[in-house]
Amino acid sequence: MRLVTGVLAGQPFVSHLTAGPSLSQRPMRRIIEPLSRMGASLKGRRAVVKRQNSSEAAAEIYPPLVIEGKRPLRGIAYEMPMASAQVKSAILLAALYAEDPTTIVEPVPTRDHTERLLSRMGVLIRQEGRSMTVKPPARPLATSRDLTIPGDPSSAAFFIVAASIIPDSQLVVNDLSLNPSRIRFLEVLQRMGASIAWKVTDEAWEPRGTLSVTSGPLRGVRMTADEVPGLIDELPILMVAACAAEGTTRFEGLEELRVKETDRIRAMTRGLEQLGAQVESDGASQLSIQRSRLRGATVDSFGDHRIAMSFAVAGLFAEGQTTITGVESVAKSFGTFFDFLTAVTSPSTVKTVDKA
């Protein structure tokens, strides 16, 4: 929704975007403000939101959205208040319809799939440190391009963590995206002591290659707020890895997890505690997990696909039977997840996953 809003902001007509129950709770002010500065008119459902653990309240805007586009848009210089690849991408796509240069400054680097794709399609983007500028006329090439999409690291992460924490496991993942902005969770797992190695076999427009992982002992680490934007989708499964790590693993700067498909801090805390994990959370931005012996239980995924898949891996690691409710949400991003899970956990010495 955020990306297509960037495209529609530059169209000379009015668009209406509606959403289901989960998406209707996702904050949209973060894209409405920069796109409005570019000249589009955007409206949504307004609500006053009380900040977690605070008496302060703030106005927020949620779907449905009404977008009155404009062409050409104005180019802007925008310093992003939060690290978000979705916000950055919405502005980059709108910049294709601007008459002036558009410059975006990120607080910390985020995933760069949009920049790579636009460059592949002929758009000139100048990058200097945390700043990137799109100069008009920023139109993609008239000639079409063939794109081969590598495997998604966020989907592979569940199997990588499973192979790291379940004794006597070995896993190979082929044709996996090894884009540096998407594999920071692998660096965290290596810091935890995981036996992981990867090799880029094709640079192309998106680096891709092969990864192998072997189970072994992990140790607790600290993940700082600066690291969170590069780990945002993998944080729930890293919390599962923390349950198997010697000592304490500390997660900081988790505010953005509270506005995903569900409040992922609350969902993971509640579910892991039901499984027997020792979790300490302030409910807002910090979480600590000690090594824990998990036991089977019934846990709720709150209709969040990444929470459901994370608890499935935790269930493999736990003693006894684990039941997860709301797993139909997994179809949102990985409809064949449970088929893959069955395949890689059946008896064998080495498992190979093609393009998770």
Q: Look at residue 137 and tell me whether its pLDDT is greater than 80.
A: no
Q: What is the average pLDDT value for the chain, to the nearest integer?
A: 92
Q: What is the mean pLDDT of residues 191-199?
A: 97
In the predicted model, what is the mean pLDDT of residues 322-345? 92
pTM of the model: 0.88
- Omega before 64 cis (within 30°)? yes
Q: What is the pLDDT of residues 43-95, one digit of tens each?
A: 999 998 765 555 556 789 999 999 999 999 999 999 999 999 999 999 999 99
Residue 233 known to be catalytic: yes
Cβ atoms 171, 353 nearer than 8 A? yes
Structural domains in the chain plus CATH codes: 2-134 (3.65.10.10), 153-354 (3.65.10.10)
Range from 62-76, 214-228, 235-249, 337-351 carrying the lowest mean pLDDT? 337-351
- Angle, to 10 degrees, between the axis of helix 235-243 and the axis of helix 153-165? 0
344's CB contacts (< 8 A; 6+ apart) are 159, 162, 163, 171, 351, 353
* Lowest pLDDT segment from 43-57, 131-145, 177-191, 223-237: 43-57
Give me the catalytic one of 112, 146, 168, 233: 233
